[in-house]
Amino acid sequence: MGIFSEAVDVMYSAQGEPAQLVWRGTVYDVAPHPLCWYERRAWWERDERLPPGTGVGAVDTQIWRMVLSDGTAQPFSLDVAHYRPAGRWRVIKIYDPEDAVFAEDPADGDPGGAVDAGGDFGLDPGEGLDGA
């Protein structure tokens, strides 16, 4: 697993969810129903003030956990931050297929994170966002 920041482009489905992601020249399909949450930024540490009515994205950052596939390799999962209102997207965390996210659940024999597109992938949404 790695933690870093790298720009990507994201295309949306008709429902407003990420459907495809372009990273390092490769187009990846996003598994249905990626997990989304918001992370609170330390806004009180900034000296600047925003005009009333602005500030979307100044307090909270939208994070998406996506399972990606290019059709040739094993699917993998990553976290992508969406910085609003600029509309920028950045990969902030990559999960290796060997991580516990992809381990088989002995109780039901089904793989965990990579193919369970309708669930929360068995992960804590805040896991690793503070660099831990």
Six-digit token pair at 32?
Answer: 């249905």
Encoded amino acid at 34, one letter? P
At 127 the pLDDT is 43
Cα angle 26-32-37, degrees, rounded to a multiple of 5: 95
Strand bridging mode 88-95 / 18-23 = unpaired
Provide CB contacts within 8 A for 97, sequence distance 6+.
74, 76, 114
Encoded amino acid at 35, one letter? L
Over the stretch 32-73, which tens digit does the pLDDT of each residue have?
999 999 998 776 776 567 667 666 667 788 999 999 999 898
- pLDDT of 97 above 60: yes
Three-state SS string over 55-88 comes to CCCCCEEEEEEEEEECCCCCCEEEEEEEECCCCE
- pLDDT of 4 above 70: yes
Six-digit token pair at 24?
Answer: 């390092």
DSSP state of 31: P
What mean pLDDT value characterizes the chain? 74
Domain limits, the chain? 2-44+56-102
Burial class (CB in 10 A: 0-12, 13-18, 19+), 40: exposed
CA distance 24 to 28: 10
Encoded amino acid at 108, one letter? D
